[in-house]
Amino acid sequence: MARRVKREGSIHLQITEPNIQPSTQPSDNWSTIFAPRRTDTIGKRDGGNAHSGSVRAPEKKLTLFALRLAILEKAASGIGTLSFIWATVVLLGGFAITLERIDFWFITVILVSEGTRIFSRSHELEWQHQATWSITDAGIYSFQALKSSSRSLIRTFKAVCQPQSHNNRQVTESTHVERHSKKPTRAWTVPDVPLLPYAGWIFLSKNISKFLYWLQLLSASACLTLSLMRLIPHNYGEVANDPDTKNRKPALDIFYSLASAEALLFLLEKVYWEWKLIYCKLLEEVNKECDLGNSGLVSIKRFFYDAFSRSVNGSIFDGLKMDMVSFAMDLLASDSSDEQLIGARILRKFANSSQFSHDTLQKIGISISVIERLVEILNWKDPQEEEIRRSAAEILIKLAGKKQNSLRVAGIPGAMESISSLLYTARSPSDAADEISPKTIIFDKDNYEFSAFNHLGLLILKKLARDHDNCGKIGNTRGLLPKIIELSHAEERLLRNENVTESQIMTVKRSLQVLKMLARTASTTGKLLRQQISEIVFTISNIREILQCGENHPTLQKLGIEILTSLAFEEDATERIGSTGGILKELFHIFFNQRMPEDQNRVRAAAGEAIAMLALESERNCTRILKLEVAEKLVGALEDPVLRINSSRILRNLCTYSGPDRFFQLKGITAAAPIALEAIMTEENKLQEVVLGLAAQIFKFMTSQESSIMFEKNQIKEAQLATKLVQILKKYKYPSIKVPRIRRFTIELAIWMMRDRERNVQIFKDLGMEKELENVMDTTSELESFNIFSGTVGLSRLSTTIHSLVDTALKLLTDESNPVTKF
């Protein structure tokens, strides 16, 4: 049950009983005291989806613990300050002459003990903090948390304690080394940081911390013992009726009571500290809840010491304002590689956590400085900083998953260049203008995982490429497109190797995915990207190799085919693809391959769509297709439910764009007429649209007598077909985005029928064709004027407008004296 407590001033605290799972450990009676109002819960389960309640930030247990310790610490320090003032001003200042010798020395020892405890306490946290650091630069120690007294000690030791050089140790002369050429340095094992080269365990920071810890306990115990030794007997050697000793007894009572209270509070703090950290294992519990792993305990300790230091040195509530994400972000901005690593690990873990990722990414996303830091880290190529770099890349992958964040990442100056630095290709620029340098294999002695960074870089680009503007930035980044295309290369030995690793195939897959997204970009940006991609000499040949040898990897084949389809939107690219040896042949091989499993029919369908696009408005590619002698197979494919739509498209494009000199080669396509007629009468939607277009072109290669025989043989009367065409126009009163050309193809076929036989004119009149054509005239739009679309932008405008077709049809309907002509 929660209730509100109003304390002094304007501070409002919410006293709540935390939701703690049953445990065998002792309960914490402090758990209902000073619990802050939860306004900063971190994350929601299932990646931030709706949840029954907010997830409590595990680190709040530490900030609450630090708050309670700070209250005891500040209370003890306040009482200690009061006792010091009382001793120096009242006792030693007013009763110094009349004090008993034992009281004088007791007071002196107590004051010295208090001073020792305060001094030890002020530096113990710093040395405990230091004990969690890993010093990466041997001989140059970065004790940034130490106070002025500690800093002077460090400076003295640094002059005389430089570790001796050995054959296997490299001493770095400066901590400010350029990231790209930073030399590897040897790291000390946490937390063994030697202050003297040969002083052994005495001068290790963790042992100094222990020494200061026990010194505080001894000082507090001495204060308590001496105070009780005088309070219990309560005999201060006072003389009756002596005015000089009249007030000495109460003054000493007050001092010894203050000294006892201070020591008791401090010892209580220490007992509470040990109970929570040692017996209850609070740090390990929080580390487990944060799921930071074995290395996360160091991060948790650092966080706790920072929270406690803030609560002690500033307001007791300063520590409550801390959270692990902000803490990690601060560490990431540090100049210390160890702190950067800790910060990167925390952010990576939280960003990939289903429990904490939503709010973690939200907090990172609104901090431009952190995004800039993450982008900068991508350029670091020092093997010592490999984990930091990888963590930064993984965080950016998660961050780029949200559109707004992806725009922020791409908007950082130099972001694309930094992402490009993750991609490693073995091809270097050639010195000669008339040749391309071959690939070189480099064996890295540090075993730097280039393939892992290739995966990460491609995945970041894939997330960014979801946005149109980002695609333009990718294309404008110098050298990035060639790298992506280079990574799409897969040799035959790789594609046909049954023991190939998943990571090798994944690199090719992700590069193809990025290329597909770039090639599908709409508007002027997409046009430019398609030109740039097709102009790189390895693009089409890499895809060809996948088509030829990738039968074991249908996903790669489908991606490659879809890239070709998108590139074919541009006339120049269409010619490049068609003129590349083997492309059309391999596409037809996949399209007609009936041995492919049913779950791979999508690959066959994609191949058919690519062929149709390559044949669209390309007389040269149509000629190349006819030379492959596949027309008969295409006609047969009209009866295959998987292939019939794309077969119809290919055949129509061949009839439309092959040129007049190919008339006799196309004559055999008329065998498809019966199948097309049947589909017009029975099918709907997309299939009906494409067969209408096919029929309107096929009948041009048939004489009137041949068409009559065909209708009679298939037991379909011309009046039935005419009725179907009028019904189609009635059904589609307005242009349809699903079948944008169906009214156009219907009118084209109706025009052929009226020109083929004059009696068909009367049939259309009786069916009300004129009215439907007038409706088409009133409802035409640009949607019906293009063959293909890139997004909402029409490409490949049709040469004959639909208005012109309607005019022709109306003229045939109204001009009965018009002779029947073939066109």
What residues are paired with 786 via a beta bridge?
Answer: 797
Q: What is the pLDDT of residues 13-25, one digit of tens each?
A: 333 333 333 333 3
Give the global pTM: 0.77
Q: How far apart are CA 822 and CA 613, in angstroms?
A: 29
More reliable by pLDDT, 207 or 635: 635
Residue 185 binned pLDDT confidence (cut-offs 50, 70, 90): very low
Q: Within 314-429, where are the H helices?
A: 324-332, 337-351, 357-365, 368-377, 386-399, 403-411, 415-420
CB 463 within 8 A of CB 397: yes
- What percent of the chain lies above the pLDDT cut of 90? 35
Q: How far apart are CA 815 and CA 823, in angstroms?
A: 17
Q: What is the pLDDT of residues 389-440, one digit of tens each?
A: 999 999 999 999 888 889 999 999 999 999 999 998 866 554 445 556 565 4
Question: Tokens in use for 351?
Answer: 């960003």
| pLDDT score at 179 | 39
Cα Rg of the chain (Å, integer)? 41
Among 495, 510, 478, which Cα is nearest to 550's? 495
pLDDT surpasses 80 at 448: no
| pLDDT score at 492 | 87
More reliable by pLDDT, 664 or 438: 664
- What percent of the chain lies above the pLDDT cut of 70? 73
DSSP letters spanning 427-438:
B---SSTT--PP
Mean pLDDT across 616-642: 90
What residues are paired with 427 via a beta bridge?
Answer: 439
Residue 155 binned pLDDT confidence (cut-offs 50, 70, 90): very low
Residues 6+ apart with CB under 8 A from 375: 392, 396, 409, 412, 414, 415, 418, 419
DSSP assignment, residue 89? Answer: I
Q: How far apart are CA 273 and CA 267, in angstroms?
A: 10
CB atoms under 10 Å from CB of 780, counted, come to: 19
pLDDT surpasses 50 at 175: no
Residues 6+ apart with CB under 8 A from 5: 12, 13, 14, 15
Residue 191 binned pLDDT confidence (cut-offs 50, 70, 90): very low
Among 21-30, 104-113, 474-483, 485-494, the least confident range? 21-30
CB 586 within 8 A of CB 547: yes
Mean pLDDT across 755-775: 88
| pLDDT score at 117 | 65
Among 665, 755, 761, which Cα is nearest to 722's? 761
Mean pLDDT across 373-387: 92
Long-range CB contact pairs, 28-36, < 8 A, 24+: 28/276, 28/280, 30/64, 30/65, 30/68, 30/272, 31/64, 33/68, 34/64, 34/67, 34/68, 34/71, 35/64, 36/60, 36/63, 36/64, 36/320
| pLDDT score at 40 | 43
What residues are paired with 797 via a beta bridge?
Answer: 786
More reliable by pLDDT, 211 or 284: 284
Among 604, 620, 691, 688, which Cα is nearest to 654's? 620
pLDDT surpasses 90 at 814: no
CB 648 within 8 A of CB 691: yes
pLDDT surpasses 90 at 296: no
Mean pLDDT across 447-468: 89
Q: Within 86-189, where are the H helices?
A: 92-94, 101-130, 148-160
Question: Tokens in use for 116?
Answer: 């020792």
| pLDDT score at 394 | 95
Q: What is the mean pLDDT of the chain?
A: 78
Q: What is the pLDDT of residues 723-740, one digit of tens each?
A: 999 999 999 998 888 999
| pLDDT score at 150 | 40
Among 607, 514, 606, 498, which Cα is nearest to 553's? 498
Residue 652 binned pLDDT confidence (cut-offs 50, 70, 90): very high
- Reduced to 3 states (helix: H, G, I; strand: E, B; else coil), residue 465 is coil
Please give, one letter per residue, the 3-state secondary structure of 515-575.
HHHHHCCCHHHHHHHHHHHHHCCHHHHHHHHHHHHCCCCHHHHHHHHHHHHHHCCCHHHHH
DSSP assignment, residue 374? Answer: H
| pLDDT score at 98 | 58
* Sequence letter at residue 720: Q
Q: How far apart are CA 629 and CA 634, in angstroms?
A: 10
Q: How far apart are CA 301 and CA 646, in angstroms?
A: 64
Q: How far apart are CA 233 and CA 245, in angstroms?
A: 17
What does the CA dihedral 125, 127, 129, 131 come to, rounded to 10 degrees?
A: -140
pLDDT surpasses 70 at 173: no
Q: How far apart are CA 537 and CA 356, in angstroms?
A: 45
6 sits in which H/E element: strand 3-6
| pLDDT score at 347 | 94
DSSP letters spanning 402-443:
SHHHHHHHHHSTTHHHHHHTT---SB---SSTT--PPB----
| pLDDT score at 247 | 65
Residue 245 binned pLDDT confidence (cut-offs 50, 70, 90): low
CB 394 within 8 A of CB 453: no
CB 517 within 8 A of CB 471: yes
Among 388, 387, 406, which Cα is nearest to 461's? 406
| pLDDT score at 118 | 65
Q: What is the pLDDT of residues 30-89, one digit of tens each?
A: 333 333 333 344 434 333 343 434 557 888 999 999 899 889 888 888 887 887 777 777
CB 448 within 8 A of CB 502: no
> Using alpha carbons only, what angle is made at residue 3 by residues 314 and 275, rounded to the nearest 5 degrees?
55
pLDDT surpasses 60 at 158: no
Please give, one letter per residue, the 3-state secondary structure of 228-286.
HHHHCCCCCCCCCCCHHHCCHHHHHHHHHHHHHHHHHHHHHHHHHHHHHHHHCCHHHHH
* Sequence letter at residue 362: Q
Q: How far apart are CA 781 and CA 734, in angstroms?
A: 9
What residues are paired with 789 via a beta bridge?
Answer: 794
Question: Tokens in use for 620?
Answer: 């040269």
Q: How far apart are CA 490 and CA 496, in angstroms?
A: 10
Q: What is the pLDDT of residues 488-502, one digit of tens each?
A: 998 888 898 888 888
> Using alpha carbons only, what angle is made at residue 257 by residues 255 and 263, rounded to the nearest 5 degrees?
105
Strand pairing of 12-15 and 786-790?
unpaired
Residue 594 binned pLDDT confidence (cut-offs 50, 70, 90): confident
Mean pLDDT across 325-341: 91
Cis peptide, bond prior to residue 58, ω within 30 of zero: no
Question: Tokens in use for 68?
Answer: 């309670």
Measured CA to CA in angstroms, residue 145 lies from 125, 126, 152 at distances of: 9, 6, 13
Range from 53-57, 529-533, 675-679, 697-701 that averages highest in pLDDT: 529-533
CB 139 within 8 A of CB 163: yes
Determine whether 17 is exposed, middle or buried from the number of CB atoms within 10 Å of its CB (0-12, 13-18, 19+).
Answer: exposed
Cis peptide, bond prior to residue 191, ω within 30 of zero: yes
* Sequence letter at residue 349: K
